[in-house]
Structure 1
Amino acid sequence: MIPTIKISLVVLGVLCSVATVLPLLPLRDWWIRAFDFPRLQLAIMLGLILALLGGCALYSGVRRTWVAAGVALILVASLGYQVKQIVQYTALVSPQAERATREGAEQITLIVANVLIDNRDASRLLTKLRAEQPDLLLAVETDTWWREQLAVLDADYPYRVLRPLDNTYGIALYSRLELIDPQVRYLIEDDVPSIETRVALPSGAQIQLYCLHPRPPTPFENLASTERDAELLVVGAAAKRSPLAVIVAGDMNDVAWSSTTRRFQRISGLLDPRIGRGIYATYHAKFPLMRWPLDHVFFSEELRLVEMRRLGRFGSDHFPILITLSHEPGEREGHEEVPSADLEDRVEAREVIEDARDKHDPDSPK
């Protein structure tokens, strides 16, 4: 029985190690990029496998062979790599984005909610909105039904950008604050909208806001991550060029620790409030063992974190996320090192964007 258990554990451990290595390949195929997501789950599995193999060795007697040593080394190295990726999203490292320090500074509160197009109970989300009273609501997967249900917000949120769609990529932005020059843009795919606008604070200061929900790489949609990656990088480059404080928010269908999201951060120079604080997994709301952070808010160094919370379930497969930021343009010092791009990042970003645009619009300007 013990040899059978050991063989089964070794096979499972090797599969977990393969799943650890696959995302390191410079390929965009959906089945490779899928292994970017379950790093925490893989780390837990690898830890359990090593513990159980150790228990089996103690029970049946330790046999030191090159094969056993090689397997143990592979599993330990895989576990170490996964832990290295995850540990940044714990209190064991310094936060990348600093807490607010200036009393009386203007604040802005945003809720990001993927409503799930098949969710036909809007009351639970509306209850949360009444309790939290955010300045802005970004809702994605909104169709005509959701537009009708959220119409009760119109009186309190006079500034709106609405693009309901039946393809799960509808998007809606509701704001108490004035929106200046709001635009719905189709950055890569002609059926996947995003929103670009400036938000006017009561003092007259403005914040540049980008709202995204790119299509993920799956066997049922895009077979590669090219379109998703390109949309993130296009917005990252625009954020870097903006002279204003910047917020980028949305369901980005990517995890915080993926190579694409990290390149997006370096290209944009934006901060991730999760680093040094927690994972804040927002998907899947109904399966606790399979959760990862897909809904994000990144922001520039002129902004500081007041509060970030994952709110409770409301019938969607995503949890909403709430963030309050303080606008402190004279307090740039204090953040951990702001991400910056090198030549390799810029070249790779340009290649990804060109590949995506060639695929969807071969005549588009490069």
Structure 2
Amino acid sequence: MEFLRAFFNAQMLVVGLVCASAALAAQGGRWSPQLDVLSHFAPFWLVGALAAGLYGLTLGEPGSRRGLVALGVAGVALAALLIAPEYLRPATPKAAADAPDQIKLIQFNAWRGNRDIGPALDWLAAQDADIIVLEEGERLRGPLARRTGYHLTEGSESLAILSKAKPIAEGVRLPPGRWAQPPLARATFAGPHGAFTLIGAHYVWPVYGGFQLAQGRIVGELLEQFPKERVILAGDFNSTPWSFARRGEDRRFGLERRTRGLFTWPATAPIPLLPIDQVYAGSGWRTVSIARGPRLGSDHYPVVVILAPIRSPNRSGT
């Protein structure tokens, strides 16, 4: 019994030390994309540090109790510094459930590894969404367009936009030769309050930190081509809201990220662990609702966002 207690005590010391150290190193993500990778896992550091601290407080050996508690407190505080801004940031008031001229948008990475597209096809068709932004859905988008009659706007690589309405303009115009350009798709639609533009994006994993930052700069340049108040940006950003990269893009894009800590990956696990699918919208939109969809055979959950326009743009949006 004493051996087991000493063993668990040592293990919790390691857990507390690793979690507190990782949460501290993640603060360096302000300056280093390599260290910023650690910030994506802030919830893990928080839970691990909390477990170590509670173990020390209740079951820890007398000689290590203070150390365990200190590591737990430090780890929880440092991880909370990363996570808290996501839940404390201001948000525009929501629109009423019966607000006029709503649009229903679904953001979904369908995953090439999904061997059975049937459930995803059935669910997406039944949602009667106005717009679907689809990543890694090469096997899904054709059958979905045929079943629903949606217009298919094909972007670069694995990205596509499906829409009830035919766009009045589509395609991405950027200077050629951009080494880090992510898969992108763009469609501009007519609307009762003026034209609006939908952009879809799919970033690389954050382990390629400099590459991902360069992709964000390219998306920022693309956004500058359209009236920000009427833009919607959706995609798999492979980036959590407590990373410094995502916070920087939140400021740079000039849009409000409507997804707030919505955990979407991996859908193959018992619970999703990271919120990496994001939807942004300009000041001309109010959020009616945001929800996570069901498991559909992908490693991502779909995100369902309903938006309502609140004012007309000053420019055409094309």
TM-score by length of 1: 0.74
Report deviation, 1:89: 4.8
The question of 1:193 aligning with 2:183 is answered yes
The 5 Å alignment of 1:1-366 reads 1=2, 2-25=5-28, 26-29=31-34, 32-57=35-60, 60=61, 62=62, 69=66, 72-90=69-87, 93=88, 96-101=91-96, 104-143=99-138, 145-153=139-147, 155=149, 157-158=150-151, 160-163=152-155, 165=157, 170-184=158-172, 188-189=178-179, 192-201=182-191, 203=192, 205-218=194-207, 224-239=208-223, 242-243=226-227, 244-275=229-260, 279-288=261-270, 291-329=273-311
Tell me the secondary structure at the aligned position of residue 9 of structure 2.
helix
Q: Using the alignment, how far apart are the partners of 2:99 and 2:110 within structure 1? A: 33
Closer, same or farther in 2 for the Cα pair 1:294/1:134, shift >3 Å?
same
Q: Which AA in structure 2 matches 1:175?
A: S
Report deviation, 1:39: 1.7
Q: Which AA in structure 1 matches 2:159?
A: I
Q: Which AA in structure 1 matches 2:301?
A: F
Structure 1 contact 180–199 (Cα < 8 Å) conserved: yes
Q: Using the alignment, how far apart are the partners of 1:230 and 1:269 within structure 2? A: 17
Closer, same or farther in 2 for the Cα pair 1:241/1:24, shift >3 Å?
farther
Structure 2 contact 290–305 (Cα < 8 Å) conserved: yes
Q: Which AA in structure 2 matches 1:254?
A: S
Structure 1, 312-321 or 289-298: larger mean CA deviation: 289-298
Q: Using the alignment, how far apart are the partners of 2:65 and 2:8 within structure 1? A: 14
Structure 2 contact 182–201 (Cα < 8 Å) conserved: no
Extract unaligned runs of 5+ from structure 2.
314-318
How far does the alpha carbon of each residue in 1:251-279 deviate from its partner, in whole angstroms, 9 at most, with x for none?
Answer: 0111112111111111122212234xxx2
Structure 2 contact 12–68 (Cα < 8 Å) conserved: no
The alignment-based identity, stated in percent, is: 23
Structure 2 contact 182–202 (Cα < 8 Å) conserved: yes
CA-atom RMSD in angstroms: 2.8
Q: Which AA in structure 2 matches 1:248?
A: L
Q: Using the alignment, how far apart are the partners of 1:266 and 1:97 within structure 2? A: 15
